[in-house]
Amino acid sequence: MDGRNRSLALFAVLLVAVIPACLGAGAAPEDDVTDSPPVETRSTCSGDETTPEVGSAGALPAGAGGFELTANRSAVERGEPIGFESTNVADDRQTTGTRNRYALQRRIDGNWRTVTLFRSGRAGFNATALPHAPGDGFEWSFRASRAGCSTGKFVVCEVLPAGEYRFVYDGPPALAVRFELVGAGDGPRPSSEHVR
């Protein structure tokens, strides 16, 4: 093999080794929400977390501004998966902000309190405007536990007791869909029906 062919062969080997490594490192952005493991593990909380300004402590609709927010279960056992979907139900293109403008809230004494907090050193959302054609939108999937909801920019610093919860997406407009978190043996098996 002459020097030129040897150089080409070495270059080809380097490409085969380097390109997949580079592509693998950047394939999943940090802020993408993914399905988390079902185990309840201790969240990394420093005490410097902040509450995102998403939704409100009062009533929120499941549909408004051309969008509808749904859950794939009305009740879920701790550690089980649950999914949410925001869909453009209008006849024309609609715009939202980033997919990260969401929060998990728990009903306490008739009010809603946000339990998904910004990790230490994070604050606010960017000013992204994303268009959605009719029928398009966002999907989120979590495990119904402290560890399962600690994803991307967010962390949950408390154990999630059984009770009434809602997922809020502040598109705008702010939309919410409720679900029940039950412990093993403390309520009905989750259904696969959409909740509105």
Q: Rounded to an integer, what is the distance from CA 66 to the centroid of its chain? A: 21
Amino acid found at 65: G
Q: Which residues contact 122 (CB under 8 A, 6 or more apart)?
A: 50, 153
Q: Decide if 176 contacts 64 (C-beta within 8 A).
A: no
pLDDT surpasses 90 at 10: no
Whole-number pLDDT of residue 103 = 94
Ranges 31-40, 56-65, 161-170: which has the least confidence: 31-40
Q: What is the pLDDT of residues 98-137, one digit of tens each?
A: 999 999 999 999 999 999 999 877 666 777 899 999 999 9
Of 51, 17, 176, 64, the C-alpha closest to 122 is: 51
